[in-house]
Amino acid sequence: MHSNNGSKLTRRSLLGAFTGIAMISAAPSYAGLPAFLRGAGDIRRIKMRSGRTGEMIDTVYWVEGEYIKPALAELNYFMRDVREDAVTEIDIKNIDLIAAAHHLLETEEPYQLLSGYRTARTNAYLRSKSRKVAKDSYHIKGKAADLRLSSRSVKQMAQAALSVKAGGVGRYSRSNFVHMDSGPVRTWGA
């Protein structure tokens, strides 16, 4: 990336410039935005930690209409199938849904990622352990995430995700997590 004066802009300098703005940005205007982008703002940021690996990600992945490819690559790796150490391209619509719902929840607490991408083998293994795992899960397609927040209830998280109207939202109250995917708009669970 280059600025107008010819100096090279690094991803780190760009993120440094916008991270503070993301924390204190004024209420964005949502007029004209597709439904799945409502709540995300002019800067889209995602904060998660992995319960399995202990890794943390806090990144701006979209700035004023432009996705930041290195940030998306970091998200792909972060949301990988850790059992198989396999990475796939995570559907951008799902990332947008996750970020928009988080923004609407008005919390700085990062999501805890329980499950992102899964290989077919990992999904089959999990399916053998629980009847609640779908055979053709959106996790296999890189289009789903199971998330938890300690500061918000399953009901609050699900309501935020549903208000974005961008995909499937499953409530798993007994296990204290919400499934969000970029498939058809639908809901299930209690």
Domain positions in the chain are 11-189
Label residue 98 exposed, middle or buried (CB < 10 Å: 0-12, 13-18, 19+): buried
The predicted model scores a pTM of 0.78
pLDDT band at 10 (very low <50, low <70, confident <90, very high): very low
* Higher pLDDT among residues 100 and 21, named by residue: 100
Q: Where are the alpha helices (DSSP H) in 1-147?
A: 11-24, 69-78, 92-104, 120-129
pLDDT value of position 84: 95
Compute φ and ψ for 62, nearest 5 degrees: -150, 130
pLDDT of 8 > 50? The answer is: no
- Could you tell me which residues come within 8 angstroms of residue 137 by beta carbon, excluding any fewer than 6 positions away? 118, 123, 144
Q: What percent of the chain has pLDDT over 90?
A: 69
Is the predicted pLDDT of residue 186 greater than 60, yes or no?
A: yes
Query: Using 50, 70 and 90 to split pLDDT, how confident is the model at 39?
Result: low
Q: Does domain 11-189 have CATH number 3.30.300.10?
A: no
Q: Is the dihedral of CA 165, 120, 154, 187 positive or negative?
A: positive
Q: State pLDDT tens for residues 93-123.
A: 999 999 999 999 999 999 999 999 999 999 9
